[in-house]
Chain A
Amino acid sequence: MDINEKEYKEYCKKHAKHSPLIKDTLMAFLFGGLICMAAEGLFEFYLYIGIAKEIVKTLVPITLIFLSALTTGIGIYDDLAKIAGAGTLVPITGFANAVVSPAIDDKSEGMIMGVGAKMFTIAGPVIVYGVLSSVIYGLIYWFVGVI
């Protein structure tokens, strides 16, 4: 068929309906902000009931991870994320969802090669490059200190 490939690709790019960028950004800002605000509330609450500050710093992310895993398990998280987009993706909640959701799906393939291996198909790269960039950051920090 004599359709020019380059022309066709350009045509399709122009033709394709785009995501509503402004709406998506606003929603992400709103929901991401709300999650962070709720986390701040939790922080204050844990302090208020008398938990030591050092422990609270760990307790808040643990609570968020738990809530994210729970809502993923009962099937609400993805419905919320559809509206919130990056608002639920960027905070630690998104990471928890990315680990829990494949674990649920791949249970049918067993605990080792199913849950165990596939749990990290989405989160794996985040861990690898997260650790790598922290090493690079650490090295820079160290060199700056030496100088």
Chain B
Amino acid sequence: MGRLIKLENPPRINGYASVVGKREHEGPLSADFDVHDKSEKFGMDTWEKAESEMQRMALNLALSKAKLSPDALGAIFAGDLQNQCVGSVYASENFHTPYFGLYGACSTFAESIMLSALFVSAGYFDICGAVTSSHFCAAERQYRFPLEYGGQRAPTAQRTVTGAGAMVIGGGNTGVKITEVMPGRVVDKGINDVNNMGAAMAPAAIDTIESYFNESGKSPTEFDLILTGDLGAEGHSITLEYLQKRGLDIAAVYSDCGLMIFNRKTQDMHSGGSGCGCSASVVCGNIMKRFEKGTLHDILYIATGALMSPSSLQQGLSIPGIAHLVRLEA
């Protein structure tokens, strides 16, 4: 059975917003973000609370852009990288609406858009909020080393983005449409190097992209952009090369959020950005603005996630990847 779901009543993105930290704001997409805070604390006293605040800000801003009050939300689909997903829990408690906590690592934003769109399209909710975030400082101390620890990073390592993105997904006649979705499946090719998540996630991206073109019968040139979540430099070139070997050339329209958000050379970002907030802030910043300007009309957004935990890594298990696909049309 195929995985591609065509939405009969395509829901629309009524509002969107992005919130980022200092480095992201210093990057090449600076002008596209709605809010930034140089201190990265967003008025809070811990990094974890700051992450929740970013989600609240993003969702409130997306609601106000959609001219809706928080009561309008039928449900929130949210996720982040903190243990037990608490960043999203604290962000969502103020909205007093049904909440679904999601974990798909860096793929979570596409997952939350997909589920929101499916629920709205099926008519179970009129309006849903899709919001995800990651905070470099909260993620780093949970997954890797303390912030002030003096270590060197591998050239293939990616940097967790401090950022959040939110979309308000509902009906109406205006706004970008979500016309197709393809849920990802867990793909594990045995990579266990946490400093090379691009290589761990690339097989999942290859799997979903290839399945999409097989099932839809379309060709890559029919799209303005094929955008993977955050494979970084390493995963980006692996994906491109492997797909080419298998007879699918997407080079002309292919880009990656992890490569877009930072200037890797001047900002010393090694393989690029990662985290639930990476593709969320890029899509809710740069990509949606390009749709508004009319320079994008039809894109495939494939967010990729590396599904490991600190314990699974220490026990020497490999890092499975996942890639969820969402098609956005003007």
| A residues apposed to B, CB below 8 Å | 1, 3, 5-6, 8-9, 11-12, 15-19, 24, 72-73, 75, 77-78, 80-82, 84-85, 88-89, 94, 97-98, 100-102, 104-106, 108, 122
**Count of B interface residues, CB-CB < 8 Å:** 33
In the complex, the answer to whether A82 meets B152 with C-beta atoms within 8 Å is: yes
Secondary structure at the A interface, as helix, strand, loop or mixed, is helix
| B residues apposed to A, CB below 8 Å | 45-48, 141, 145-156, 187, 189-191, 196, 199, 203, 206-207, 210, 233-234, 237-238, 242, 271
Give complex CA distance A95, B233 in Å: 33
Q: Which residues of B contact A6 (CB under 8 A)?
A: 190
In the complex, the answer to whether A15 meets B206 with C-beta atoms within 8 Å is: no
Q: Which residues of B contact A18 (CB under 8 A)?
A: 155
The answer to whether residues A105 and B148 also contact, given A3-B203, A8-B190, A12-B238 and a CB cut-off of 8 A, is yes
A13 → chain B closest CB, angstroms: 9
In the complex, the answer to whether A1 meets B149 with C-beta atoms within 8 Å is: no
In the complex, the answer to whether B155 meets A102 with C-beta atoms within 8 Å is: no
In the complex, the answer to whether A16 meets B156 with C-beta atoms within 8 Å is: yes
A63 → chain B closest CB, angstroms: 18
A72 → chain B closest CB, angstroms: 5
Q: Which residues of A contact B153 (CB under 8 A)?
A: 82
In the complex, the answer to whether B206 meets A1 with C-beta atoms within 8 Å is: yes
In the complex, the answer to whether B150 meets A80 with C-beta atoms within 8 Å is: yes
Q: Besides A75-B148, A100-B148, 11 other CB < 8 A contacts?
A: A12-B196, A17-B233, A18-B155, A72-B148, A72-B150, A78-B147, A84-B150, A102-B146, A105-B146, A122-B146, A122-B149
The answer to whether residues A9 and B191 also contact, given A15-B234, A77-B150 and a CB cut-off of 8 A, is yes
Partner of A17, one of B152, B156, B189: B156
In the complex, the answer to whether B146 meets A104 with C-beta atoms within 8 Å is: yes
The answer to whether residues A5 and B190 also contact, given A16-B196, A17-B234, A122-B145 and a CB cut-off of 8 A, is yes
Give complex CA distance A33, B185 in Å: 51
In the complex, the answer to whether B148 meets A78 with C-beta atoms within 8 Å is: yes
A139 → chain B closest CB, angstroms: 31
Give complex CA distance A100, B271 in Å: 28
Give complex CA distance A27, B149 in Å: 18
In the complex, the answer to whether A3 meets B150 with C-beta atoms within 8 Å is: no
Give complex CA distance A16, B154 in Å: 10
In this complex, which of A1, A15, A73, A122 has the most chain B Cβ atoms within 10 angstroms of its Cβ?
A: A1
Q: Which residues of B contact A97 (CB under 8 A)?
A: 148-150
In the complex, the answer to whether A1 meets B203 with C-beta atoms within 8 Å is: yes
Partner of B145, one of A3, A15, A77, A101: A101
Give complex CA distance A85, B150 in Å: 8
B262 → chain A closest CB, angstroms: 16
Instruction: Select from chain A the residue with minimum beta-carbon distance to B148.
Output: A101
In the complex, the answer to whether A9 meets B152 with C-beta atoms within 8 Å is: no
B90 → chain A closest CB, angstroms: 14
Partner of A16, one of B45, B210, B234, B242: B234
B60 → chain A closest CB, angstroms: 25
In the complex, the answer to whether B191 meets A77 with C-beta atoms within 8 Å is: no
Give complex CA distance A102, B148 in Å: 8
Partner of B152, one of A11, A16, A77, A81: A81
Give complex CA distance A17, B154 in Å: 8
In the complex, the answer to whether A108 meets B148 with C-beta atoms within 8 Å is: no
In the complex, the answer to whether A108 meets B46 with C-beta atoms within 8 Å is: yes
Q: Which residues of A contact B199 (CB under 8 A)?
A: 12, 15-16
Give complex CA distance A11, B234 in Å: 12
